[in-house]
Structure formats: C-alpha cells, structure tokens
A and B are shown apart, each in its own frame.
Chain A
Amino acid sequence: MINVYELQDSNRKRSTLVIVAFIVFVVVVGWVFARLFDWGPGAIGIALIFAGLMSFASYWWGDKIILTLSSARPANRRQDFQFFTVAENLAMAVQIPMPKLYVIEDSAPNAFATGRDPQHAVVCATTGLLQKLDRSELEGVIAHEISHIKNYDTRLMSIVTILVGMITLLSDWFLRGAGFGGRSRKKGEGNLGAFLLFVGVILALLSPLIAKLMQLALSRRQEFLADSSAVMLTRYPEGLARALEKIAADKEPLEAANKATAHLYIVNPLKNLHSGVGWFANLFNTHPPVEERIRILREMA
C-alpha cells in the first residue's frame, strides 16, 4: 500500500532519472561523433538547429496543427456540459487558466491534451468518451490531461523529439561521411583509427534506435506521473480506473489518430492495430499497459 503523495514523489524522481539519462546519452553520442570525425562543436550545433527547425513548428503551432489533423470542433457549455464544467473545476483546482476545449466526432472513447504551456493548452475529447463515461470517470480523465498540461509534458516531449532528431541527423551524417571522405582524414592512425571508426559505425547505427527507445520510456513515465497527479486532484482513483477500463474495453479504433499523434492520447488509440504483449513489445509502446495503470490506481483506493 502506497499513498498518493509517495507515488507522486517516486514518479517525479523516475521521470527526472529518465530525462537525465537521456541528456547524458545525447551528450556522449554527440561527443563521440565529434571526436571521431574531427567535427568541431559547429556540427553538433548545426544538427541541433536542423532538428530544432523541424520540430519548432510542431512545438509552437502544435495545438493548431493537431486540431486541424483531428478535425475537432470547439466545445461549449450548453452542448458539452459535463466536459466543460469538469475542465473548468480542475483548471481552478490546479490554478491554471481554463484550457481551450475541443470535441472530436468519433465514437471511440479517448482524449488528449496539447499546447506548449498552460496559457496555450488544449484539451480534446471524443464524443464517444463524453457519452460513455459518467461524471466521476470523466473527471479522472480530464484530471489526467490537465496534469499533463500542468507538468509541461508537451514541452518536455517536444524537446526530447528535437534531441532524438539531432541524434538521428548526426548518425546519418556520420554514416555518409564514413563512406566517402571520412577515412582520408584519419590517415596514419592505423589500427586504432580503424577500430574507432568501427565503434563509430556501430554507434551511428544503434544510437537513433536507443534514443527513440528512451523517448518512449519517458513517454510511459509521463503517463504514470499524470495518473498519480490526476488522483492528487480528484482524490478518487476509482474514477480514473473505471474510465481506463471502459476506454480499454472499447475495440473501435480511433480514426482521427495516427502514429504522429498517438503518444498524446490518454490510452494508445492505435491499440487495436498491433496488439503486442510482453516486455519486448512494451519497449516500443508510447503508453504503459492499461492493466498495470488500473492496478496501480486500484491500490491507491
């Protein structure tokens, strides 16, 4: 038996750990490439700028882009009474401005939050979610989304995406360079040079994958953290647990979701397309298994 405060603390610590590990990894890989290839700090900088430019749009206009992709309509108090008032209450409870609310016309129950900071936050729910959940369950789901906003999860994931992009670019350049002009510069170092080059190639091949896996691990940690923050808000773990059960039990795939937006949702919307089981499949998931989330929530109750 573990109480909400302890769970919140341990989730915070683990998230921090993953973030620190990720940053260390990025720095080490960057350094190794730079050493091997006689790249100055300039190359790392350029890779960062490139990756940043690609992700900047999704960071800055993320809310608008995703809403356009998912074809959502704004929610109003009269039509979506429960959704609107529950979000209003929870925003008041965490002392952030009321997020913009949108509804996606889709019978698959799901919800997501996005936006770079609490001032530009958006919470989006499907009509299926609003119809199938009662008020306490909906409160759990919205509290989860509001916690994502309050914890700046969108910002964190955007930064991580930029770093993963940077690693991928560096690896790519390295592999291209190793094929062409790379070797000539290292002339005269003999066996050691060849060995380092070999290590570099292996690293270049593996590091994008490792970076991606770390990103996914972080994404799963943020889900656990948002779950426990949601319970801190509503003090009613059973509400969220029941909601997750209902969402997981629903077999309909969400048409509005795709791989690019999947990590945003409260439960992976692509669950029905590839249902992997076991530890290995879990490595590639953006979300922790729903059963485990429910089990942890029930332990709190």
Chain B
Amino acid sequence: MLVGIILVLGLIALYVWSLYNQLVTIKTRIRASIQEIGNQLKRQADLIPNLTAAVKGYFKQEKEIFALITEARKAVMEALKEADAQKLVDASEKMQQALAPIRALFESTPQLRSVEPTVKLMDELRDTADKVMYARRTLIDLTADYNIKIVTFPSNLVAKIFGFKPETGLKTPTEGEHIEVSVEELKTPKVGV
C-alpha cells in the first residue's frame, strides 16, 4: 500500500519534472530562433552596402537604400532587445524594401550575374533569406507546440503552477513579397504538343 503511494507520487514528480524541462527548453528555442532571425537580418544589413558598391555603375538610388537600411537596422536592434518576434518580422519587411531595387536591377541586367563579387554576395543574401524563412517556420512550430502544451490537460496544471504564459509568436502576414504573385507566375504554362 505504502509502496504503491510512493510509486504513484514518484511518477507524478517525474512527469512534472520532465514537463517543466520540456517547457523551458521550448522557450529557450523560441528565444534562439528569434535571435537567429535578428542575426540574419543584421547580416543582410551588412551585405546590402557591399552589393550596392559592387553594382555602382548601374545604380542611382544608393542614398535612398542607405536610409532604408539604417532604419531597418535600428528596428531590428529594438525588436531584438525586446525579443519581440512580430516586431522583428516587421523590421524584416523594411529590409526587403531596401533590397527590392537591387533585386530588380539583377532581374533586368543579366550581365551582373556573371561577375564574381556580386554573384558571391547574392548567394550570401539568398542564404540569409533562407535562414530567416526556416527560423520563422521553426518559431511558428515551436510556439504552436508550446501553446498547446500549456492549455491541454494535464500539462496545463503544471504550466499553471510554474506560471508559464502563452507565447505570442507571429501573426499571419497579410502583405509582403512572399505572398505577392508576379505576372510571370500567373501565366498559363505553354505546353508543346
């Protein structure tokens, strides 16, 4: 009898212990992916001036871009300080605005694509964009996991005892490059018969 009670209590303690650790781990990972998004955005801010320098001859809007970058960088730093994922994503939208004219230039000037430093820089830029994408997705998945854990029974009891609060995560973006559809994509593909 006594052994039974001790066993049950032991199991409960084990469950609480592992759940607490899980929740703390997820929270740390959420922080880490927010940090990762921030780091990549800072890397983009560093890359853009190099890119504009590399394409100097083709390019007139340098000043405007620099202003946009400075603004975006400031927004990133602020969002990182508050560890606010949503603000960070907003800052990334600013960064995309700064990038848009450079991307357009690359679309319209194919000869740029064969020059070594610009190709290297564009590769780096693509990598930062991918990293932001994956970090965002990780952030969304982790937040969903975490929020489900702290509202479902019985993990919600443990979450309540230790005062875990729901994470805000990201709201679904309603605008931005990723949801715009270009004219090219709307064309019906031609099929040769």
Contacts and interface: CB of A to CB of B under 8 A. Distances in A.
Interface stretch (A85-93, A170-178, A239-247, A285-293): A85-93
B29 A92 contact: no
A92 B135 contact: yes
Contacts of B126: 135
Contacts of A95: 29, 138
A82 B123 contact: yes
B137 A85 contact: no
Contacts of B36: 92
Interface string B133-155: 01101100000000000000000
Categorize the interface residue count of chain A.
Answer: 10 to 19
A195 interface: no
B107 interface: no
B167 interface: no
A113 B145 CA distance: 29
Interface in B51-91: none
A135 B123 CA distance: 9
Nearest to B133: A89
B130 interface: yes
Nearest to A139: B130
Interface in A77-105: 81-82, 85-86, 88-90, 92-93, 95
A92 B29 CA distance: 11
A93 B126 CA distance: 16
A92 B127 contact: no
Residue in B29, B127, B137 with the greatest tally of chain A CB atoms within 10 Å: B127
Interface string B147-182: 000000000000000000000000000000000000
Interface residues of B, number: 12
Contacts of B131: 85, 88-89, 92
B123 A81 contact: yes
B134 A92 contact: yes
Nearest to A91: B134
A93 B123 contact: no
Contact of A93 (B120, B127, B137): B137
A135 B127 CA distance: 10
Contacts of A81: 120, 123, 127
26 contacts: A81-B120, A81-B123, A81-B127, A82-B123, A85-B127, A85-B130, A85-B131, A86-B130, A88-B131, A89-B127, A89-B130, A89-B131, A89-B134, A90-B134, A92-B36, A92-B131, A92-B134, A92-B135, A92-B138, A93-B134, A93-B137, A93-B138, A95-B29, A95-B138, A135-B126, A139-B130
The 6 A-B residue pairs with the shortest CB-CB distance, nearest first, are A85-B127, A93-B134, A89-B134, A89-B130, A89-B131, A92-B134
Interface of A: 81-82, 85-86, 88-90, 92-93, 95, 135, 139
Given A89-B131, A92-B36, A93-B134, 6 more contacts: A81-B120, A85-B127, A85-B131, A90-B134, A92-B134, A92-B135
